[in-house]
Chains A and B, each alone.
Chain A
Amino acid sequence: QVQLQESGPGLVKPSETLSLTCTVSGASVNSGGFFWSWIRQPPGKGLEWIGYMYYSGSRNFNPSLKSRVTISIDTANNQFSLKLNTVTAADTAIYYCARVSNWGSLPFDNWGQGTLVTVSS
């Protein structure tokens, strides 16, 4: 059974960098055919795709966030991470990590439980 678990600070100050890690169990982040993704959801609002990464280094990001986002994979610890710099209150959201399977044909078939990140001084 594949499980994903987000971790990281729940409070970030404006203009600083939001950093989250997703720990994967039951699957390997360097297995072929899987993309590792981040999605966010402002409280009470809809879902926004942030981006995904393949273990070989291939990445794809939402253009609206691309200039501020980094996604990386740590194969030694079977984790992947999100960094979002220069945050503002508009970045307050529940952040989910999720898996895309079958080379992109099966989107977000497994999700973490989500972690709320609040941007506030």
Chain B
Amino acid sequence: EIVLTQSPGTLSLSPGDRATLSCRASQSVGTNYLAWYQQKPGQAPRLLIHGASSRATGIPDSFSGSGSGTNFTLTINRLEPEDFAVYYCLQYGSPPWTFGQGTKVEIK
């Protein structure tokens, strides 16, 4: 089973800042099948990025994903008030599919 470790656990930033979130895998993620999700309180997660760097439909270009192998990054440029949420990475290259433990982006 591939273990995903996200860092930091909490990121305290101001609107307009850039957020950089990390997701590290215990072994290489097949086909770079790494996705990112945003979850707000009381809501289901929303797909942001798939295939490590492809934005999902309707996701603004302020969100970008990068990385390969075992190291992946989600970058949010110019944080908007609605971007403060919890972010999860998911590897779906090898069963069982596994999620990271999440990074909370909170208002400083």
Contact = CB atoms under 8 A, between A and B. Distances in A.
Interface of A: 46-49, 60-64, 96, 98, 100, 104-109, 111-114
B45 A108 contact: yes
Nearest to B92: A107
Given A61-B96, A64-B96, 5 more contacts: A62-B97, A106-B56, A108-B90, A109-B50, A111-B44
Taking residues whose C-beta sits less than 8 angstroms from the other chain, chain B's interface range is 20 to 34
B50 A49 contact: no
Chain A facing B: main interface SS: strand
B33 interface: yes
A107 B47 contact: yes
The 5 nearest A-B residue pairs measured at CB: A111-B44, A49-B97, A47-B99, A62-B96, A107-B92
B50 A106 contact: yes
A107 B35 contact: yes
B88 interface: yes
Interface in B1-48: 1, 33, 35, 37, 43-47
A62 B99 CA distance: 12
A26 to B, nearest CB: 14
26 contacts: A46-B88, A46-B102, A47-B88, A47-B99, A47-B102, A49-B97, A60-B96, A63-B96, A64-B96, A98-B44, A105-B51, A106-B50, A107-B33, A107-B47, A107-B90, A107-B92, A108-B35, A108-B37, A108-B45, A108-B47, A108-B90, A109-B56, A111-B44, A111-B46, A112-B44, A113-B43
